[in-house]
Amino acid sequence: MTLTYRFAGETDVPAVVALIESAYRGETSRQGWTSEAHLLDGQRTDATAVLDVVRAAGNVMLVAEATDRLIGCCHLERQAADLVYFGMFAVQPGQQGRGLGAQILQEAERLACFDWSAATMLLTVIAQRPELIAWYERRGYRRTGETKPFPYGNERLGLPRRPDLNFVVLAKSLSQRQR
């Protein structure tokens, strides 16, 4: 499947929210392997959060499409001159396991490295998702040793089904020679 990429605009917000929700929450998410439904109930994001990304300077919501159909997305945020945060990564559950996520991640890394001159890509993963952490590690990301607490009490990010959630911070050095 050939993917094309562009930055989401305000009119894309409902479709991006629906994609992210389908990949992480509810029964639809269980069709893929990125579901967090066993860890969290409620929503993963909302229109306000995605609209904030689309409108904010130093942020983009990168969307991947095939035959004019939304296949995946990710959020890139410039946190420093040489540091980009990667988040809100989603691939349609029925399209997961076909290498599309790796393609989208590679495009995000290319954009961060070449367009923004970033030296490092940073991301967080729920620590209780060892299969997802391993997926990123196979793509060159390494644990930084840093963890972040889960935002308990913030229903905009979900309703935890267990009391021990936290995030692991992963980072990858981006090199123009590697691209």
- The answer for residues whose C-beta is within 8 angstroms of residue 122's C-beta and 6 or more apart is 79, 83, 84, 85, 86, 144, 169, 170, 171
Residue 85: half-sphere exposure toward Cβ, Cα within 13 Å: 12
pLDDT at 179 over 50: no
Better-predicted residue by pLDDT, 1 or 82: 82
Question: pTM, whole model, 2 decimals?
Answer: 0.93
pLDDT confidence band for 147 (50 / 70 / 90): very high
User: Does the structure show a pLDDT above 90 at 12?
Assistant: yes
Domains (range + CATH), the chain: 4-173 (3.40.630.30)
Whose structure tokens read 């209780």?
128
- Quick: pLDDT tens for 55-85: 999 999 999 999 989 999 999 999 998 999 9
The DSSP bridge partners found for residue 124 are: 169
